[in-house]
Amino acid sequence: MPNGCIGLISFGTTSYYLKKEKRMKPLLEMKNIVIEGNTGESWDPIIRGLDLTLGKGEVLGLIGESGAGKSTLGLASMGYTRQGCRIASGSIVFDGHELFNASEADMRPIRGARIAYVAQSAAASFNPAHRLIRQYAEGPVQHGLMSAAEAEEKAITTYEQLLLPDPENIGYRFPHQVSGGQLQRAMVAMAMSCQPDIIIFDEPTTALDVTTQIEVLAAIKKITRRFNTAAIYITHDLAVVAQLADRIMVLRYGELVEENDAREMLAHPREPYTRDLLAVRSFKKGKSDSDSKKDVILEIDDVTASYTGVDNVLEEIDLKIRRGRTVALVGESGSGKSTLARVITGLLPPVKGRVLFKGQELSAALKSRKREDLQRLQMIYQMPDTALNPRQKIRKIIGRPLKFYFNYSRKKQEECILYLLDQIELPGDYIDRYPTELSGGEKQRICIARALAAQPDLIICDEVTSALDQLVAEGILKLLLNLQRKLQVSYLFITHDLATVKAISDEIVVMLNGRIVEKGSKKEILKPPHHEYTDLLLSSVPEMDPGWLDSLLKARAIRENTVPHL
C-alpha cells in the first residue's frame, strides 16, 4: 500500500487500497455462526449461519429491527454471549486466533484490550461509586499495559481528543455529575484506553438528543480514523450508520438480508426489507380539530420547580394539552423535559404554580392524589430496563393496573393482556416471559401495553420510541395514533427524535435550560424563521447522506471561525 494512503481516505468512502487490504487480510472473520437461546425447554436459533468479515480500519454497520440478532452477533465477535445464549457452531478468527470455544484464560488478554465494547446505556454501564478516570485506568492497568499514573495521564489526552469539556478535570467527576452525551463520550474514551484493534458500538447514540448525538458521532468518527481502529456499529437508524460505515449488513430474524458498500446500499437497496427501512416515517398525522377551551385536558399554570430548593430547573412553564391531541416536548438533555413530566405526575412538587386536570387542580404530591387521578394520567418511561420488574412475568406486569384500577378477575385480566399484546405486535406466549427474555424494543412495548391497560385520558410518553428500531417505532406510533382516534386519548410526547415530532404531533413545545423558548402548532414551529435554538435542533437531524455529518461540521466550523477536529 502506498505510504499515507489511509490518511487520505475521506469519511464514508473506502479506497481501493483499503478494500484490497481488507480482502487479503481480514482482521476478524466469522464463518457460519449459529447462536442459540435457551427458552427453558429447548435451545432455539437466534443467529442462523451468518458470515462476517472486518478489515483493519473498516467500520461495518449492523442494522435491523429489534430481535434481528445485531447485538448478539456483535458480542459473538468477542467470543461472548449473554446469559441464556450459546455459540453452537461456527468459526471466529481474530488476527489469526480462533475464539470459538477458547478458554477464559485465552480470552482475557483479548477482551477489553484488543476488542472493546461500548454499550447503549452509559449510565447503566459505569460504576456510580467510582470516578470516571479511575474506571478509564482500570483496563490498561489490569492488562499490564501501563501504570495507573500513566493511564490517568493518557485519559486526559483522550478526553481532549474527544472534545470533552475541561479534559484535565472531568475525569475526576462521578458518572452522575456529567451529561448523557459527555458520559457516552467518556465510555468511548474508556473503550480506547487500551488502543484496541476493534470497537463494538452497540447503539451508542440511541438515547441521546440530536445535538448531543452529533457530538458523539463526531467523536466516534474522529477516534476510529485517528487510530485506524476497526469498528462494528450496531444501530437501527440508517441515517446514523450512513455517517460512519464503509459497509452495511442488514439482518432480520438472525439471517442476512443484504450486504453492500454503504453508499451503494443507500442509493440502490436491492431487497424489499432494506427499502422499507429507508422509507420509514412516511406517514403524517391528520389535522385535529379540538381547539375549544372546554377541550383542555391538562393545564400547566406558571410552574417553577427545583430539586434542591435553591436552583430552579423549571422556570414559569405555561402549557395546555387538549383532548385527543399530541403535544411534542423537545429539547436537549438537561433542558427540563423529563422534570416537567415528574411535576405533572406528582413525583416532584412545584415550588410555585399549578397543575390542572380537566379544570381541577391536582395535588402537588403523588401520595395525595386520588386513585381516579392516577388512572387517568399514565406515564411510559424512557428506560424499560429500569421500569420493568425483572422478577415478574409479563402477565403480572400488565395485569397489575387491570387489577388495581378495575378489579378484573384473572380470566378477564388474561383476555385483556392477550389483546394488548396483540395490539403491540407481540405473540401471546410472551405472557409468561420475564423482561430479561425480551429485547430492548420488546421491553418498551410492554411498558406501552401497561400504560394502555389503565385506559387513561392522558399518557406522558418519555422517549418511548428511542429504543425501538425504525420499523417497529413506526408501528408503535401508528398504534398510538389509532388509539387516539378511537379513544380520544391525549399524549405529551417527550422526544429528541424530530422525525417522530413531525409524524405524530399537533403542537410543538421547545425547551432550553428549563424554559419554553418557542411553542405553537406543528406548522408554525417547523416553518422558518425559527428561534435560534429550534434551528440548531432541526439542523442536527441526521440525513440519509454519508457526507451529511462532514458537511454539517464544516459549515458550523466556518460559522464559528474554527477548524473541525476530525
DSSP 466-493: TTS-HHHHHHHHHHHHHHHHHH--EEEE
For residue 451, CA distances in Å to 417, 457, 458, 459, 500 come to 12, 11, 10, 7, 20
How do the residues of the chain divide into helix, strand and coil, expressed in percent and rounded to 5? 40, 25, 35
Mean pLDDT of 415-424: 91
CA atoms within 13 A of residue 560's CA, in its CB half-sphere: 9
State the pLDDT at residue 566: 47
Q: Is the pLDDT of residue 5 over 50?
A: no
Is residue 384 a contact partner of residue 120, using CB atoms and an 8 Å limit?
A: no
Is residue 435 a contact partner of residue 388, using CB atoms and an 8 Å limit?
A: yes
Question: pLDDT band at residue 24, thresholds of 50, 70 and 90?
Answer: low
Mean pLDDT of 162-184: 87
Distance (Å, whole) CA 42 – CA 51: 24
Is residue 41 a contact partner of residue 224, using CB atoms and an 8 Å limit?
A: no
Length of the chain: 566
Is residue 192 a contact partner of residue 199, using CB atoms and an 8 Å limit?
A: yes
Strands (E), 185-246: 198-202, 230-235
Mean pLDDT of 70-97: 93
pTM of the model: 0.74
Q: Is the pLDDT of residue 107 over 90?
A: yes
With the C-alpha atoms ordered 369, 372, 373, 375, is the resulting torsion angle positive or negative? positive
State the pLDDT at residue 305: 93
Question: pLDDT band at residue 443, thresholds of 50, 70 and 90?
Answer: confident
Distance (Å, whole) CA 245 – CA 63: 11
- The alpha carbon of 129 is separated from its chain's Cα centroid by a whole number of angstroms, namely 24
State the pLDDT at residue 1: 36
- Report the range of poorest mean pLDDT among 81-90, 276-285, 532-541: 276-285
Q: What is the pLDDT of residues 485-529, one digit of tens each?
A: 888 899 999 987 777 888 889 999 999 989 999 999 988 888 887
Q: Is the pLDDT of residue 43 over 80?
A: yes
Give, as one character, the DSSP assignment of residue 261.
E
Nearest CA to 449 among 472, 475, 426, 469? 426
Is residue 64 a contact partner of residue 251, using CB atoms and an 8 Å limit?
A: yes
State the pLDDT at residue 284: 65
Provide the grid cell at 388.
420493568
List b or e across 520-539, with b for residues whose CB sees 16 or more CB atoms inside 10 angstroms: eebeebbeeebeebbebbbe
Nearest CA to 509 among 333, 343, 329, 335? 329
User: What 3-state DSSP class applies to 34?
Assistant: strand
State the pLDDT at residue 287: 63
H/E stretch holding 461: strand 458-462
Mean pLDDT of 271-290: 70
Q: What is the pLDDT of residues 298-339, one digit of tens each?
A: 999 999 999 888 889 899 999 999 999 999 999 887 788 888
Bigger pLDDT: 111 or 465?
111
Listed ranges 126-135, 239-248, 554-563; the one with the highest mean pLDDT:
126-135
Mean of the per-residue pLDDT values for the chain? 85
